[in-house]
Amino acid sequence: MRPVSELKESISFSQRALLGYMYVVFALAAYLLFQRLRATSLVMAGGLVFVGIGSIFLAFRYLSVEYETLKRYKDLLYFFVTPVLVFYFLITIGFDKFILETAFGRVWLGNVMYFSRSVLDLIGIPYTGIGNEIILACPDYPGPVTLLVTEACSGIHSSFLFLAFFGMMLVDLRAKLSWKMGTIYFVIGALGTYSANIMRIVVLSLITYYVGFEAMRSFHDYFGFVFFIGWIFAFWFFVYRRVQGSDREAPREAQPG
């Protein structure tokens, strides 16, 4: 473990760093406000997305001067920010309804519900409900609580966002990534994203059953999307490091002197 004095020296408190920390707080505040407003005003919530992402860019601008690690992964940040901006713009104008309100959306939801129930059966959580309902006992409610999973909550958004991330990564890594490894990474990422959507429903069910409805609602409102973003960031961070690392370790031909 690093000594406390050494750890303090590694944390910058310069004027640039303090501005960066301030913009990180702004981004977090924008996210929390977004979660509170998205059910009542999608337009205002969409604007907060742009405010939050703009704050992240400004935070990176100032903090990357102080922390060398941020400079090394600046491309990874751009790959995340660009698809998220496009993604929320399309949701704001209602484009996602062309996918959700189709037979594809209904089939997708049915499969997600099937696998979510299978996991609940496997771990022994008692529930009832058919279709897109999961009905559970809840410690802070006298009667059962019904979790209603809609097409919008089934993970279609996050799966298409994964495709956007993958496409953005290929723009930069196409010269360093073979078709074989690209296919392997895509399959792992797609299966992981799909599984993360299922596990989010399972986690919500577990929180409802063991902790209560209010705790589940807080998790759903404030940590549901972070649950997915955490997985996708960890996955792409791993891929990015692997590809960049293999590129640095590749033998180079001797240049004529």
What DSSP string runs through 201-232?
HHHHHHHHHHT-HHHHHHHHHHTHHHHHHHHH
* DSSP H helical ranges for 124-256: 156-173, 179-210, 213-222, 224-249
pLDDT tens, residue by residue, 197-234? 899 899 999 999 998 888 888 888 777 777 777 787 78
- 182, two tokens: 């690209």
pLDDT tens, residue by residue, 110-151? 999 999 999 999 999 999 988 899 999 888 778 888 899 888
- The answer to whether the CB of 198 falls within 8 A of the CB of 229 is no
pLDDT confidence band for 94 (50 / 70 / 90): low
Rounded to a whole number of angstroms, the CA Rg of the chain reads: 21
The yes-or-no verdict on residue 252 having pLDDT over 50 is no
Angle at which helix 156-173 crosses helix 224-249, to 10 degrees, equals: 20
Distance CA 117, CA 109 (A): 12
Question: In angstroms, what CA-CA distances link 108 with 75, 97, 128, 147, 242?
Answer: 32, 14, 21, 17, 32
- The answer to whether the CB of 34 falls within 8 A of the CB of 2 is no
**Best CA proximity match to 17, nearest among 60, 75, 52, 57:** 60
Residue boundaries of the structural domains of the chain: 1-72, 94-244
**Which residues 6+ apart lie within 8 Å of 121 measured at CB?**
none
pLDDT at residue number 9? 46
pLDDT at residue number 96? 67
Distance CA 229, CA 80 (A): 10
pLDDT at residue number 8? 45
pLDDT tens, residue by residue, 35-89? 777 667 766 776 777 788 788 888 888 888 888 777 766 666 666 666 666 666 6
Q: Is 92 helix (H, G, I), strand (E, B) or coil?
A: helix
